[in-house]
Amino acid sequence: MSFPSVAFAVNFYKDQRLANQTVTDLRRFYPESPILTFDDSKQRLKLSQFAGRWTERYLKAFLQTDADIVVKLDPDTAVLRRARYFPDAEVFGEHVDGQVLGGAIGYSRDCARRIIKSGLLLDTKYTCVHYTYVRFGERVTRQDEIMADIIRLLNLHTVEWKEACIRQYHPRSVMPTGYAFVHPDMRPEALAMYASRNLGESA
């Protein structure tokens, strides 16, 4: 089986230590892959007035690499091993109620081009209350909901990815096994980081 080349994107805000662990694990399992990191405190594109520019930033950065696909991981996503496969699809990840969840979500190169070319990420409708919420006193965007709408509008081909587990939709009593990527990370070292930080935002 031939594998596509993969880049990874990790955005963080107030959770640098968690992001560092995710990047360290990615470098362990994917030493050949570009790892794109974005410190959202330097350019706060999650704020509501920026609509989908937060997603646009990492998709554009991905298109500057030679990789075939990009996988966006939240900074508190556990990277447990190499993925056994990557779907042949425009968008892939765990699906719930028809939406691909953003804790570990992948896009093909052609898909990223289509999304950027459409200009939909800049649509001001994504600054309205439906696509935003308040956290830490700031109104920020719900990028998962924005992308769900864009996937629908562009009729993008999505596939369930059995290598990703978003734990809010699974029993939380134990750390799941059998997955390459689990969000959030509940290993002891991650729990210690959660306890020591001032609850940051999973960017």
pLDDT in tens, 60-72: 999 999 999 999 9
Q: Which CATH architecture has domain 6-196?
A: Alpha-Beta Complex (3.90)
Give domain limits for the chain. Answer: 6-196
Paired tokens of 92? 């892939």
In this predicted structure, the answer to whether residue 169 has a pLDDT above a threshold of 80 is no
pLDDT score at 24: 96
**Predicted confidence band of residue 96 (pLDDT cuts 50, 70, 90):** confident
Q: How far apart are CA 4 and CA 107, in angstroms?
A: 12
**Predicted confidence band of residue 200 (pLDDT cuts 50, 70, 90):** very low
Beta carbons within 8 Å of 175's beta carbon, 6+ residues apart: 78, 182, 186, 187
pLDDT score at 70: 98
